[in-house]
Amino acid sequence: MKRCLLTLLWLRLAAAATPVVTKVEPPDWPAEPHAITLRILLTGTDLEGATVHSAFRAGKATASTSGTHLFFDLTIPPSAHAGSYPLRVATAAGMVEAPFALVPALAPEGRFAGFSSDDVMYLIMPDRFADGDPSNDDPAISRGLFDRSNPRFYHGGDFAGIIQRLPYLKSLGVTALWLTPIYDNNNRLNGRRGGRGSTDYHGYGAVDFYAVDEHLGTLDQFRELVDRAHAAGIKIIQDQVANHTGPSHPWVIDPPTPTPTWFHGTLQQHSTNTFRIWTIPDGHATPETRRTTLDGWFAGSLPDLNQDDPETRRYLIQNALWWIGRTGIDGIRQDTLPYAPRGFWQDWSAAIEQRYPKFRIVGEVFDSDPSLEAYFQGGRKMDGVDTGIDTLFDFPLYSVIRKVFTGAAHTTELPRLLAHDYLYEDPTRLITFVGNHDTARFLNEPNATVDGLERVFTFLMTVRGLPLIYYGDEIGMRGGGDPDNRRDFPGGWQDDPRNAFEASGRTAEENALFDRVQRLTHLHAVLEPLRHGKLVDLLVDNDRYAFARVMPADRVLVVFNNGDGQAALRIPLSGSGIADGVRLQDQLGVGPPVETQGGVAEVRMAARSAAIYY
């Protein structure tokens, strides 16, 4: 019997394997002047029963049932200096070292600055903007995903290309760049579409939240982009996705937590998001209806993270802090905001604000109802929760802008929508826009014209909020629905037949539009009322709209004629602060000067035109 027991023990020990660690999350952390406790996630094999030893205090480790993941706390004292601090992971079968490091903390000067109505934001999909480093077009790890002729494959745009075009962006008047996600994405083709397959060139199919996609560059190159942009006076806003992973993330097959709650559901059994945002604040909605919106997988295929799981919640909060601290970015654009619990956003935003008080967050709530948009803006409690989300994209106004400036709606719809500003905690923080990577280009709308787009930009640069330009709209790029709305910027590639980054490479129409946008961003920068003034409606009818932006010692008059004929307008100035006997000049150089008298400004407007009087 004794010999049999010894044999069984020997066989059990022989079967046990030395632990293997293939990934450490986070892989490093800034050496900060205060104590911090990190939640470390190790990925590997044979991690059951493991203990972790470090130069710092490591807490009790908890392994997943598969033995492929291990969680533990690592407490770093304020005295710790930057350097390498390997983690020793031991089981009865052996010990292995895993890398971990403290890196020098970034100086806060010129970083983590946030954004405001003083800025002009520019949205770039890095893969489609400019290819500055052809060597990463078709990396070995993901060979075969590069094909500029296929609108769903990688096209080669990268961080190097954006760096090279910073002078162009600076000349346009851009002060903040929003980049779609730069996470490492799937390295193979997704499901077949039209017989050619598709890739995650857009960045929204993350397979690693601590890595940069190899098609775009490296973490160090992203750091260089941030630093170079800051040197040019341009802020960087990172697109983050805390709602879901990509369908090919390793977690989908093997989630990290000891309990099966890292995701809502499994690959084999899950609900599909119904996108019914209105059910979240709706007191009449059933819990099941609300749950489908919060817990359903986006498009039925993007695995929905469970932010109510304490491990998932802590992972996502810590990941956001890592990206900020390691790169020096100034803001975050948070994708699909309504589909995660409001309580999570409260904790997530509070952790960021505590460490980076000037940092700012903008959330995506893709809905045209201003009451739903306002529900998610932070600064006040709704249903007992303050999300802490600084601002939102103004999708309700976006919808109206498209209709008005293509002639599908009367001009009165603009002030009618703006009348809902009382719903927001702070409407002056809203980001105004006419298009993004999820919508068809404005010029693809029925009856859209270039002069209509000029009026759109005039409105965006003069109305309350922070104006956003979608890359290429400043030269009137066309494009229908996804992915046609994500065409390559002409001139971003060495073999392009023309270079629209330079005036000589643009058509007459493109140059006229670019010059108008450039002039408008300049006016936005130098006329303070356009950034901070109170908006006062002065004249509203079916085809005309005039408003003033008013400050105690300064004001601007903005006038639109959206009709097909010339207009002679008598604009009452009551409430505008504009006195009699003032000579107003059109800052766009279109209309003649205007003399105010009798509390009225008499303005003559050409058909389908706009003017900014100062």
Residues involved in catalysis: 335, 364
Cα dihedral value 54, 60, 62, 68, nearest 10? 20
| CB-CB contact of 206 with 141 (8 Å) | no
Non-local (6+) Cβ contacts of 397 within 8 A are 417, 418, 430, 432, 463, 465
d(CA 98, CA 389): 36
Helices marked H in 27-67 — which ranges?
Answer: none
Write out the two tokens for 135: 């060597």
d(CA 133, CA 153): 17
Q: Is the peptide bond before 497 cis (omega within 30 degrees of 0)?
A: no
| CB-CB contact of 339 with 273 (8 Å) | yes
Cα angle vertex 574, ends 573, 577, to 5°? 75
d(CA 392, CA 362): 5
d(CA 33, CA 19): 34
d(CA 553, CA 409): 35
Residue type, 109: E
| CB-CB contact of 550 with 578 (8 Å) | no
| CB-CB contact of 293 with 238 (8 Å) | no
C-alpha of 382 from chain center: 24
